[in-house]
């Protein structure tokens, strides 16, 4: 679904992506992991066309988006849904109005069909009963689920998750992980890309894991492959040890 081919991106003298090559499989759950500052968020921004590479190609669903103008990129972004780290709900809108927002902004769906779709995705995330509440009345986990419903509303081909379980207690994190898998299986052919520091979640839910280090893919494969990895940097990261070959600054 997504290919990065020799993608390089620098900010001043800092090279964040260094001839990065990666592949996101269609219809699968792919986790992109790595310590802070290794280019995970920058990679996501390139997928969305919010950043343009200094060199290289980015192929999304068969199209090289590095050649798109702003209008073409605006249309391209409609293929994506995004669950932000802190849900990013509109406080002045009800849950239902939040979920309706992308349908109103991005589609020509009439009001009746839009309401039906909003009800559908709220039910999918287990929150059909809160549509008239405002975000301030929701728990952290509920806000995250509303954010997911909003991301799903316009039926994206690709759903991006930015640290979906950061700051959550273990029980809520487990619920979000299970919901991520449920949604990916229920939405036909949808591709899920997750940026995360949550290694437990990556090992438990990912179809494929990509680890970035110094702007490149240092290891990729299944959860089982990562558990058995002999790469010293990978083993240090997954064990959470300070001492090892990985540079910590």
What's the token pair of residue 30? 């792919």
pLDDT of residue 249: 60
Specify whether domain 2-239 bears CATH 3.30.450.20. Answer: no
- pTM of structure: 0.92
CA–CA distances in Å: residue 197 to residues 17, 34, 59, 240, 246: 19, 7, 26, 11, 16
* Reported confidence tier of residue 175, pLDDT bands at 50, 70, 90: confident
Evaluate if residue 25 carries a pLDDT over 70: yes
CA–CA distances in Å: residue 84 to residues 56, 119, 145: 27, 21, 11
pLDDT of residue 88: 87
Q: CB–CB of 34/90 below 8 Å?
A: no
Condensed to tens digits (0 to 9), the pLDDT of residues 121-168 reads 999 999 989 999 999 999 988 999 999 999 999 999 999 999 888 777
Give the domain ranges of the chain: 2-239
User: Exposed (0-12), middle (13-18) or buried (19+): which is 195, by Cβ within 10 Å?
Assistant: buried
* Reported confidence tier of residue 10, pLDDT bands at 50, 70, 90: very high
CA dist., res. 197 & res. 201, Å (int): 9
15-18: which pairs have CB atoms within 8 A and are 24 or more residues apart? 15/215, 16/42, 16/215, 17/42, 17/43, 17/46, 17/53, 17/215, 18/214, 18/215, 18/216
Evaluate if residue 6 carries a pLDDT over 90: yes
On average, the pLDDT of the chain sits at 92
Q: Is the dihedral of CA 176, 181, 185, 188 positive or negative?
A: positive
Average of per-residue pLDDT across 207-232: 95
Phi, psi of 78 (to 5 degrees): -65, -15
CA–CA distances in Å: residue 73 to residues 38, 46, 59: 25, 11, 13
């Amino acid at each position: 679904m997504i290919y990065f081919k020799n993608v390089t991106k620098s900010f001043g003298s800092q090279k964040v992506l260094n001839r990065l090559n990666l592949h996101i499989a269609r219809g699968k759950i792919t986790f992109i992991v790595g310590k802070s500052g290794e280019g995970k968020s920058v990679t996501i921004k390139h997928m969305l066309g919010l950043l343009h590479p200094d060199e290289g190609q980015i192929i999304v669903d068969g199209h090289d988006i590095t050649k798109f103008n702003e209008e073409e990129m605006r249309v391209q972004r409609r293929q994506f849904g995004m669950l932000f780290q802190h849900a990013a709900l509109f406080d002045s809108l009800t849950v239902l109005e939040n979920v309706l927002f992308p349908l109103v902004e991005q589609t020509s769906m009439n009001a009746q069909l839009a309401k039906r779709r909003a009800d559908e995705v709220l039910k999918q995330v287990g929150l059909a009963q809160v549509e008239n509440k405002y975000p301030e009345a929701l728990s952290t986990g509920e806000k995250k689920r509303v954010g997911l419903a909003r991301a799903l509303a316009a039926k994206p081909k690709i759903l991006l998750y930015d640290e979906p379980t950061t700051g959550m207690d273990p029980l809520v994190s487990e619920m979000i992980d299970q919901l991520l898998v449920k949604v990916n299986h229920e939405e036909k052919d949808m591709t899920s890309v997750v940026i995360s520091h949550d290694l437990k979640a990556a090992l438990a839910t990912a179809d494929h894991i990509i680890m970035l280090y110094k702007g490149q893919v240092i290891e990729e494969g299944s959860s089982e492959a990562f558990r058995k990895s002999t790469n010293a940097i990978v083993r240090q990261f997954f064990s959470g040890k300070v001492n090892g070959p990985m540079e910590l600054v």
